[in-house]
């Protein structure tokens, strides 16, 4: 049903009904804005880039061969537009301590320690806002997969299509990102937020 609705809207826009394009904006704006905001980490920039994404979609709409693919196409454009912006400004940062093997080893030892807090008590300390902070510190390629998978609810197959990556790569990035977030959270639970 969704595909048909999109197909009708696309047909109307291509026939000259520019107002029909607003249906596509309203349907996909939150998904696009969320991905762009999570990647560029600035609301004003995300607003400008989301606008740019929809204008690109409008201008290239006639190139879309299969209306059923519009969702992944829009997200592809959103992803590429955000990456271009990050590349131009070279603003993306990496949290070095996330990938520190020694830290991970310490965390495991901590978990094995009988005096350490239980996993349940560590989980109780978690909150969506604290998770959101940790996600924003991930490398952009992990941030992208976590956003699409858990915050936006896309399947692995859809994510692979959006990012133009093999399914196995997407799954590995998801696993690795969860591992980083989990380990970082345990470090915070042990040492306090630094």
User: Quick check: 85 and 40 in contact, CB under 8 A?
Assistant: yes
* 168 part of the interface to other proteins, by CB under 8 A: no
Among 119, 157, 164, 167, binds other proteins (CB under 8 A): 119
Cα–Cα distance for residue pair 161/169, rounded to 1 Å: 12
Please state whether 155 falls in left (phi above 0), alpha (psi between -120 and 50) or beta. beta
Round to whole Å and give the CA distance between 83 and 43.
Answer: 16
Q: Does 54 sit near other proteins (CB under 8 A)? A: yes
From 3-11, 76-84, 91-99, 169-177, span contacting other proteins (CB under 8 A): 169-177
CB of 125 to other proteins, least distance (A): 9
Out of 7, 83, 95, 122, the residue judged to bind other proteins by CB under 8 A = 122
Instruction: Name the site residues for other proteins (rule: CB under 8 A).
Output: 18-19, 21-22, 25-26, 29-34, 37-38, 43, 46-47, 50-51, 54-55, 58, 104-105, 107-108, 111-112, 118-120, 122-123, 126-132, 135, 146, 150-153, 156, 171-172, 174-175, 178-179, 181-182, 185-186
């Amino acid at each position: 049903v969704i595909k048909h609705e999109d197909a009708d809207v696309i047909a109307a826009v291509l026939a000259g009904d520019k107002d029909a394009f607003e249906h596509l904006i309203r349907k996909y704006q939150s998904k696009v804005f969320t991905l762009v905001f999570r990647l560029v980490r600035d609301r004003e920039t995300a607003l400008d880039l989301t606008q740019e994404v929809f204008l690109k979609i409008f201008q290239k709409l006639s190139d879309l061969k299969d209306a059923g693919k519009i969702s992944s196409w829009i997200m592809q454009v959103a992803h590429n537009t955000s990456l271009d912006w990050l590349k131009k400004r070279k603003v993306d940062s990496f949290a070095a301590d996330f990938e520190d093997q020694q830290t991970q080893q310490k965390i495991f030892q901590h978990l094995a320690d009988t005096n350490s807090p239980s996993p349940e008590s560590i989980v109780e300390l978690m909150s969506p806002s604290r998770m959101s902070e940790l996600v924003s510190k991930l490398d952009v390629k992990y941030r992208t997969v976590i956003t699409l998978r858990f915050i936006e609810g896309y399947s692995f197959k859809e994510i692979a299509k959006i990012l133009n990556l093999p399914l196995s790569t997407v799954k590995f990035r998801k696993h690795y990102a969860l591992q980083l977030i989990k380990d970082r959270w345990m470090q915070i639970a042990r040492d306090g937020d630094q």
